[in-house]
């Protein structure tokens, strides 16, 4: 059986998912194709109907469709429902089921690459957007001592505290007040796009606000080392970029579609090779 898979987004040209999943299918010895699907917001419902009609086995969903897509699915996994976003759809016997592999993908990568102990940790998350929701939800399952969400619009962060305060010790602060929260942080996680290509000289917080020797994580993987991570390295912090999260969210999606274990090393090599090409 030829697996037909894809990624829906707007834009989608920059996505590394096709390269990664094509390599995964090849490494796993599965015949199939993974294609980019450029879908405008006003065509999303039709595109989802098209998954059924064209016999897609599954798709990834990326910006800006992760929330709206939930309206057009038959079933939503409880964790994805709690997060309020779907990044993976599985087509099973005519039914479309939505999952979110972002948070679990991120945690697996953070633990493997930094040895982070999340239980009892003071964590500061910068940003309260879609990616942030998935990560905060996953982090709360690990029982940190306290988790502070810093966001430009404090009300958005406060909304998350109201929604998920029962899951753990959660607080919100405005971006301009983040300095005192950072002083006691064990782990700082940037979920904003500040510092992402092409604006690679930007940094989400002042370098001198970073405590030395902690873990600093940035969801961005283009560039692999943002200014935030470079500055963190100067302070002897363990640094962590977004490449692992991208690989593992893809690996979990691959496993949901194929029921086979994902060839993670080959997936990582394919994405790294692609990023390498771009910067030379």
Residues 125-144 pLDDT 10s = 999 987 899 999 999 999 99
For residue 264, the surrounding DSSP H or E stretch is helix 264-278
Q: pLDDT class for 112, splitting at 50, 70, 90?
A: very high
**Whether the predicted pLDDT of 82 surpasses 80:** yes
- Report the DSSP pairing between strands 215-218 and 187-190: parallel
pLDDT exceeding 70 applies to what percent of the chain? 100
* Cα–Cα separations (whole angstroms), residue 184 to 34, 43, 243: 44, 46, 27
Opening angle at CA 32, ends 29 and 36, nearest 5: 130
Q: Is 16 annotated as a binding residue?
A: yes
Q: Is 62 annotated as a binding residue?
A: yes
**Whether the predicted pLDDT of 232 surpasses 80:** yes
Predicted pLDDT of residue 279: 73
Q: Is 129 annotated as a binding residue?
A: yes
Average pLDDT of the chain, as a whole number: 96
Q: CB–CB of 188/216 below 8 Å?
A: yes
Q: pLDDT class for 278, splitting at 50, 70, 90?
A: confident
- Round to whole Å and give the CA distance between 131 and 139: 12
Catalytic residues: 66
Q: Is 80 annotated as a binding residue?
A: no
Q: CB–CB of 50/19 below 8 Å?
A: no
Predicted pLDDT of residue 54: 95
Q: pLDDT class for 197, splitting at 50, 70, 90?
A: confident
Predicted pLDDT of residue 276: 86
- Round to whole Å and give the CA distance between 256 and 252: 6
* pTM given for the model: 0.91
Dihedral sign from CA coordinates of 20, 26, 29, 35? positive
Over range 85-100, report the average pLDDT: 96
- Round to whole Å and give the CA distance between 69 and 49: 11
Q: CB–CB of 49/73 below 8 Å?
A: no
Predicted pLDDT of residue 63: 87
Q: Is 103 annotated as a binding residue?
A: no
**Whether the predicted pLDDT of 222 surpasses 90:** no
All structural domains of the chain, each given as residue ranges with its CATH number in brackets, are 3-100+244-278 (3.40.50.10860), 103-241 (3.40.50.720)
Q: Is 251 annotated as a binding residue?
A: no
Dihedrals phi, psi of 15, to nearest 5 degrees: -65, 135
**Whether the predicted pLDDT of 45 surpasses 80:** yes
């Amino acid at each position: 059986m030829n697996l037909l898979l894809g990624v829906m987004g707007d834009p989608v040209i920059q996505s590394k998912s096709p390269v990664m999943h094509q390599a995964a299918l090849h490494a796993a010895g599965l015949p199939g194709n993974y294609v980019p699907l450029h879908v405008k917001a006003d065509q999303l419902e039709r595109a989802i109907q098209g998954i059924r009609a064209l016999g897609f086995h599954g798709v990834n969903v990326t910006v800006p469709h992760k929330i709206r897509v939930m309206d057009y699915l038959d079933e939503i996994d409880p964790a994805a429902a709690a997060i309020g976003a779907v990044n993976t759809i599985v087509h099973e016997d005519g039914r479309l089921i939505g999952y979110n592999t972002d948070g679990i993908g991120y945690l697996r990568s953070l633990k493997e690459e930094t040895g982070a102990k999340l239980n009892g940790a003071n964590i500061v998350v910068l940003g309260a957007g879609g990616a942030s929701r998935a990560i905060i939800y996953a982090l709360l399952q690990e029982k940190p001592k306290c988790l502070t969400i810093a966001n430009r619009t404090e009300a958005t962060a406060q909304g998350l505290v109201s929604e998920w305060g029962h899951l753990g010790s959660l607080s919100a602060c405005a971006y301009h007040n983040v300095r005192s929260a950072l002083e006691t942080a064990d782990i700082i996680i940037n979920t904003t796009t500040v510092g992402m290509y092409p604006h690679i000289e930007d940094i989400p917080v002042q370098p001198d606000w970073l405590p030395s020797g902690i873990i600093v994580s940035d969801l961005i993987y283009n560039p692999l080392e943002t200014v935030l991570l470079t500055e963190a390295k100067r302070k002897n912090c363990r640094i962590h970029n977004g490449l692992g999260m991208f690989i593992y969210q893809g690996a979990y999606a691959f496993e949901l579609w194929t029921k086979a274990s994902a060839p993670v090393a080959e997936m990582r090599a394919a994405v790294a090779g692609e990023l390498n090409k771009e910067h030379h």
